[in-house]
Amino acid sequence: MTARYSRITGTGSYLPPRRVSNDDLVTELAERGVETSDDWIVERTGIRARHFAAPDVPASDLAVPAAQAALAAAGRTPDDIDLIIVATSTPDMVFPSTAAIVQHKLGIAGCPVFDVQAVCSGFVYALTVADAMIARGAASRALVIGAEVFSRILDFSDRTTCVLFGDGAGAVVLEASDTPGILATDLHADGKHVGILCVPGNVSGGQVLGDPLLKMDGQSVFKLAVSVLDKAARAVLTKAGKSEADIDWLIPHQANIRIMQSTARKLHLPLEKVVVTVHDHGNTSAASIPLALDHGVRSGQVKRGQTLLLEGVGGGFTWGAVLLVL
């Protein structure tokens, strides 16, 4: 039997129109009695701005234009798609899945659709699942999307978290191929770290139980992220029979510039080989990697035939990496 692989054939992204600079956010927070500054935010995170969706705009409304852009880049139409996976922690509804809503908004029906919830690692998880389904012949052309409206779950009285996150969506078209595109994947989780990054609330009987806003122990997340990202990166390189020198671009989850710099140093990669969008987008959770990938492709940085290392870490605690040839 001929081996079956998958390759990314198109990328796309979408950011809501409202851009909120650090100065804008500092002014808004001051009105709430919360003190911070542009210098404080930039020094600790590298973030200078983020985008916030309007209150009536759900994740699916960000996902659809990102998907349409990826389809156009791949030379495909929605009717060509036979699998949709949406990675999100901020779905439109409790159910059905945001993927089902995206499917309907794209005007197609019949193919399997579902959401993946792995927080900031969600896109890496979703891409791994789509690759496995294509390799087994369960799909031939998949839309893999990361879409988030994290502004809905931020505590704007907590300056250590509310300055970090933004909204957006990124997407790829992943197609069956005779030659390897995705070379290796590596996924992990450890539930004992649930408490260091979570939204500890739920809905019961029409009421919110617990706290529906994001909570994070920043120092614990930082230490764990740096350690596990390095291990996941080395794992996919080993699985693919590659070395650090084979990496053309590192496209990490855009959480914090210091985590990204530390990861690059451990892999002996110059910062010039890291695609960085955190300064303009903030942390967009599951959307951050596909947003950065699309930015890299459309800016001309990332080119066909290059080897890319994607990696993410998020609440759960989840982490993982994908090594691929574009």
Which sequence positions are flagged as catalytic?
120, 253, 283
Distances (CA, A) of 83 to 170, 187, 296, 303: 16, 21, 25, 26
SS3 (DSSP) at 83: strand
The answer to whether residues 183 and 323 touch, using CB atoms and an 8 Å cutoff, is yes
Taking alpha carbons only, the member of 308, 300, 311 closest to residue 325 is 308
- Residue 101 CA to residue 21 CA, distance in Å, equals 31
- Residue 15 CA to residue 50 CA, distance in Å, equals 9
Burial 142-170 (b: 16+ CB within 10 A, else e): bbbbbbbbbbbbbbeeebebbbbbbbbbb
Q: Which residue is it, tokens 């899945």? A: 97
Q: Strands 113-116 and 215-216, how do they pair?
A: unpaired
SS3 (DSSP) at 100: helix
User: Other C-beta atoms within 10 Å of 223: how many?
Assistant: 13
What is the token pair recorded at 232? 């996941």
- Residue 303 CA to residue 319 CA, distance in Å, equals 26
Each as own residue / partner, the long-range contacts of residues 134-138 (CB below 8 Å, 24 or more positions apart, any chain) are 134/4, 134/5, 134/6, 134/83, 134/174, 134/175, 134/176, 135/4, 135/5, 135/6, 136/4, 137/4, 138/83, 138/112
- Residue 127 CA to residue 139 CA, distance in Å, equals 13
